Structure 1
Amino acid sequence: MSHGVFAYTWDLVGDPEAAARIAGLGADTVTLQAAYHSVRGITPWHPTHRVVHAEHAAAYFRLRENRWPGLRPLAPTWGVENPDRFGTAAAALTGAGLSVEAWLVLTHSSAVGSAYPDVTVRNAYGERYPYALCPSHQLVRDYALTIVSEICDQYDVDLMLEACGWLGFDHGSHHEKTEGADLSITARRLLSLCFCPACRTALGAEADRLARSVRTAVDAELAGGHPTPVDATALLAHRGAVIADLVREAKSLAGDRRLLLMATDDPWVTGPDVGVDFQSVAPDAFVLKCWGDTQAAARQLKAAAERTDLPLIANVTALDLDWNGVTELLEAGAAGVRYYHAGLASKARLDRIRTTIAEARR
């Protein structure tokens, strides 16, 4: 039974006490940010700063110039000057007796998407989502796999993949102003389908019909009606095949390293937890988001366990005031837990993580 916590590199670099503080939670593993999207985060425990504003997606590992023939991530320009923040933080953690998983966000990057708009997701209206790289493009797959290979080449760590597929309508724009349209989950999922040139090529003649169906359904709902049914079987199958191939290649690069995939077994889902058929994708373990209602999360785990023999890791958030611990999740079949987030949590929340891990180990 593995218990791990998430952490950012800036929680550790420049804080000589951080690794020992995290080890004191009782976890055995730290899922450490190595390639990550833009974010503003508080650092309540760091001795020299309180708020970190990561202005764009960045790679926190050493960027070797000759390894990036196509798309490439940016280096961080905030915080301490250190070309290998991941390596520095990982060394501190292993020195404290903890194992490390590299936390890799692959297809969520406004920085890369803005620089290379032709490889971003495009909805049925032809509008681009600059934060969402479309893995139908070989350039995007090469970019994602280079991130994986660079981590494996430079560090002896396991891997956790986030955003290993499509991001959609609901994830990551500026000052979001879409709630007032009262879009249903169906409409939001339709607006998350990609019709970029690469996806259109994969679909062939089906692409035009499907795009028209999506526009008709969404416009009907926006006009106050109900969306007509849309058959997206071919596009979902295409997405599933691309994701399965990407995971397969990443696992090959990982070798003996353990590869965990943030996922859900609903193929309509887009975002950080990729929507896939659990029987068609083969990481070493699936990481299921178990935020919110604990009983609902337990039901999700039980249902997933019926569709895969791979271990299921429960991703829980200690930042939620209504968090009810992990007992029900472990009873539902979770083979491990990852607690979000050792750097963002208050003292009371860190105490709760510590107590929860101790109770689970009894």
Structure 2
Amino acid sequence: MDSSLYVYVEDVRGEGLEAVLDRVAGYGVAGVTVAAACHGARDVTPHGRSRVTIRRDGVHFTPPEDLFGGLRLVPPVQEGAGQEPLAALRRATAERGLRLHGWTVFLRNTTLGLANPDVTVRNCFGDRGSPADLCPSHPDVRLYAVALGRAVARQGVDSVVAEALHFATFGHGHHPERGSVPLGPMDVFLLGLCFCDFCMRRASDLGVKAEVAREECARIAGGVLDGDPPAQGEVTRAALTAYAGPEVVAYARARSEVVTSLVSEVSAAVAAEGSRLVFLDATGWFKGQADGLPSAGLAAHDSWQLGVDLVALGDLVPSLGVFAYARDAARVADDVGAYRRSTGRHRELRVVLRPGLPDTDSADRLDAKVRAVRAAGGDAVDFYAYGLVPYPVLDRIPGALSG
């Protein structure tokens, strides 16, 4: 089974390229998925140069002038990018027979969002309250995404692993998040819908009454903010129809055209540079990242909430990546099986697992989840992430792969 280990450039810089690759090769994985373009975070890094690492928005290479010279949005450049860490990784992995994949965070960039608030998501009240989330409907954002995909592919990677190439959720639009109003899952969903001019125009072109949808969202969410009791239960199309009306559901579903067309453009650009796109659906991440206890709805069934149309994307991209962030191996199997049924057998299905907490507390549990991925039709298992877990946790990987 193909496999890869997610690695940050800071990991390599702190521990040394050869030392990191020696360890990676020892885990029995087939490749390295390096953060070529990432978003800001504060990470506990148990074996890093610093035990707490601050990551910033930006790319680990110099943005090519021919791709970004005429664009409004240009990615921030990470410190040390001039030393060409990706080129060094490309040479070293090739010498060891390892594949190199370019992990690319596309539409999550607080630096660009704060500097250009008009390209971010605008909620039903007209607020630009999610500066980390660039709107995939905005023309400047779409040009930026295509250029970024092409630029990472140009680094000589075997694939461009596309994270955040779809809509996001309200709960992760900025950090830290604070709120003392008890919002239900459907209220959070409504607050996460974008009603910028470009989103509303594209929905209207598809026959959706976009202004009616916005007004309904503002009425319902506004009522909860004023003290109405929030609705409980899972966000499903049927529940959302009953709660907010058919136009809101139609508006939410129309977002899939935005995402599908953008992924198509980025995939074509990546292919033109001699690489291929792996599209990451973050639904499983949103559902299970906090505690490994995702809600009952399977990720493949809920991906529409991010504007992801799995059937349409199955015809556009050669590879789909999914997050199986669940403690229970049976839940992992159910999620992977649902994705396999949605995408068919003709597309590669890569499954991201965490070898450590919060959802993997032992080598036996990791073994069981890797077996579940295989049994449910997954083609590859990728592990997240080298710098975030202690060495003894990483040492679980070879046994899980060989088992």
> What is the TM-score of this pair, normalised by structure 2?
0.81
Q: Shift in Å at residue 215 of structure 1?
A: 1.6
More helix by share: 2
Residues 322 and 136 from structure 1, CA distance in 2 versus in 1: closer, same or farther, beyond 3 angstroms?
A: closer
Per-residue deviation, residues 75-119 of structure 1 (Å, max 9, x unmatched)? 113xx5644232223333333321011001100000111111111
3-state DSSP of counterpart to 2:169: coil
Residues 347 and 194 from structure 1, CA distance in 2 versus in 1: closer, same or farther, beyond 3 angstroms?
A: same
Match of 2:277 in 1: 259
Instruction: Kindly indicate whether the alpha-carbon contact (under 8 Å) linking 1:107 and 1:133 is maintained by their aligned counterparts in 2.
Output: yes
Q: Structure 1 stretches (4+) deviating beyond 6 angstroms?
A: none
3-state DSSP of counterpart to 2:131: strand
Counterpart selection for 1:340 from 357, 380, 384: 384
Q: Shift in Å at residue 314 of structure 1?
A: 1.3
Residues 226 and 185 from structure 1, CA distance in 2 versus in 1: closer, same or farther, beyond 3 angstroms?
A: closer
Match of 1:296 in 2: 331
Match of 2:235 in 1: none
Where structure 1 has 5 or more consecutive residues not aligned to the other structure, the ranges are none
Per-residue deviation, residues 33-57 of structure 1 (Å, max 9, x unmatched)? 01110012344434x4433212x31
Match of 1:34 in 2: 36
Match of 1:283 in 2: 317
Q: Shift in Å at residue 206 of structure 1?
A: 1.9
Aligned residues: 350
Match of 1:230 in 2: 245
Using the alignment, how far apart are the partners of 1:337 and 1:347 within structure 2?
19
Instruction: Kindly indicate whether the alpha-carbon contact (under 8 Å) linking 2:60 and 2:81 is maintained by their aligned counterparts in 1.
Output: no
Q: Shift in Å at residue 66 of structure 1?
A: 4.1
Using the alignment, how far apart are the partners of 2:45 and 2:114 within structure 1?
28
Residues 44 and 225 from structure 1, CA distance in 2 versus in 1: closer, same or farther, beyond 3 angstroms?
A: closer
Q: Shift in Å at residue 165 of structure 1?
A: 1.5
Residues 75 and 83 from structure 1, CA distance in 2 versus in 1: closer, same or farther, beyond 3 angstroms?
A: farther
Using the alignment, how far apart are the partners of 1:214 and 1:269 within structure 2?
15
Match of 1:218 in 2: 221
Match of 1:177 in 2: 178
Tell me if 1:305 matches 2:340: yes
Match of 1:186 in 2: 186
Q: Which has the higher mean CA deviation after the structures are superposed, 193-202 or 221-230?
A: 221-230
Q: Which amino acid aligns with 1:182?
A: P
Q: Shift in Å at residue 321 of structure 1?
A: 4.5
Within a 5 Å distance, the mapping from 1:1-362 to structure 2 comes to 1-13=1-13, 15=16, 16-46=18-48, 48-54=49-55, 56-68=56-68, 69-70=70-71, 71-77=73-79, 80=80, 82-128=82-128, 129-178=130-179, 180-204=180-204, 206-222=209-225, 223-227=227-231, 228-231=243-246, 232-255=248-271, 257-263=275-281, 264=283, 265=300, 266-270=302-306, 275-281=307-313, 282-293=316-327, 294-309=329-344, 310-323=347-360, 324-325=365-366, 326-359=370-403
Using the alignment, how far apart are the partners of 1:92 and 1:135 within structure 2?
35
Task: Let me know the Cα RMSD of the aligned residues.
Answer: 2.1
Q: Which amino acid aligns with 1:45?
A: H
Using the alignment, how far apart are the partners of 1:81 and 1:130 within structure 2?
25
Using the alignment, how far apart are the partners of 1:304 and 1:28 within structure 2?
23
Using the alignment, how far apart are the partners of 2:53 and 2:324 within structure 1?
26
Per-residue deviation, residues 131-189 of structure 1 (Å, max 9, x unmatched)? 110010111011011011112233242111000011231114222113x4231211111
3-state DSSP of counterpart to 2:342: coil
Q: Which amino acid aligns with 1:87?
A: A
Where structure 2 has 5 or more consecutive residues not aligned to the other structure, the ranges are 232-242, 284-299
Instruction: Kindly indicate whether the alpha-carbon contact (under 8 Å) linking 1:106 and 1:164 is maintained by their aligned counterparts in 2.
Output: yes
Match of 2:234 in 1: none
Using the alignment, how far apart are the partners of 1:280 and 1:113 within structure 2?
29
3-state DSSP of counterpart to 2:280: strand
Instruction: Kindly indicate whether the alpha-carbon contact (under 8 Å) linking 1:2 and 1:336 is maintained by their aligned counterparts in 2.
Output: yes
Residues 268 and 186 from structure 1, CA distance in 2 versus in 1: closer, same or farther, beyond 3 angstroms?
A: farther
Q: Which amino acid aligns with 1:319?
A: G
Match of 2:237 in 1: none
Instruction: Kindly indicate whether the alpha-carbon contact (under 8 Å) linking 2:102 and 2:153 is maintained by their aligned counterparts in 1.
Output: no
Instruction: Kindly indicate whether the alpha-carbon contact (under 8 Å) linking 1:286 and 1:313 is maintained by their aligned counterparts in 2.
Output: yes
